[in-house]
Amino acid sequence: MTESVTVKTRPSLMGRLLRNLVGFALLLLVLILIFATWANHRRTGAWTFRVFDATWWGIGRDEAQPYVEGAQRAAHTAYETADELLDKAKAYLNRPPAENPPPTSTDPDAQKLPSGEIASKRAEHEAGIAQARDLFDHGVVAYTRGKSVTDPARREALRTAIADFKQVRDLLATHVPAYNTVPGKNLRVLADAEELQTLNANLLRNAESITIP
């Protein structure tokens, strides 16, 4: 006697995709029904479920409209705020970087370490701050481009800007506090770096507030 063997085959990629899409559509439909039911209860004080009643759906739509408009305003405000932030960023970048002043005008603690060690520490942290400034410049250019182009170039520009701003944040978090402890630090460099931290944090927060599909 010969036994029959059933071989189970895995669903195709297209089959799995369609199944996931159907599942997502059903979940979305359930959420819409729940929201419409809640909206009608909020409006009338009674729990109702009339899916074939246009008025019932209309109440749900009216209740959702303020949320939709609020999201649209938030996105618009993010771009409006970006214009102001970008103007400040460009003004900062157009200003010449701070240069090392003569030794007599630096931090009075300059004599706490041998001059060679002071120079080494200063050079290390000032190089990190300069790198952060260059990355910030690149991020500002990308963010400016992201506001003037359409998808998919817009998405790519925004992702580039966010990545640059995050690198700037991490570099400054490493070098600014350490530079502040170095005897003989250039106070102008320190002030510029702290200003850059504020500008970068605001632009990063603004860029991340914009939804990127």
**pLDDT at position 168 over 90:** yes
pLDDT at 66: 60
Per residue in 23-59, pLDDT (tens digit) is 767 776 777 777 667 666 666 666 776 666 676 666 5
The phi-psi region of residue 30 (left if phi > 0; otherwise alpha if psi is between -120 and 50; otherwise beta) is alpha
Q: Which 8-state DSSP code applies to residue 28?
A: H
Question: Is 160:128 a contact under the CB 8 Å cutoff?
Answer: no
Rounded to two decimals, the pTM is 0.56
Average pLDDT for 77-100: 76
pLDDT at 138: 94
Q: How far apart are the C-alpha atoms of 28 and 22, rounded to whole Å?
A: 10
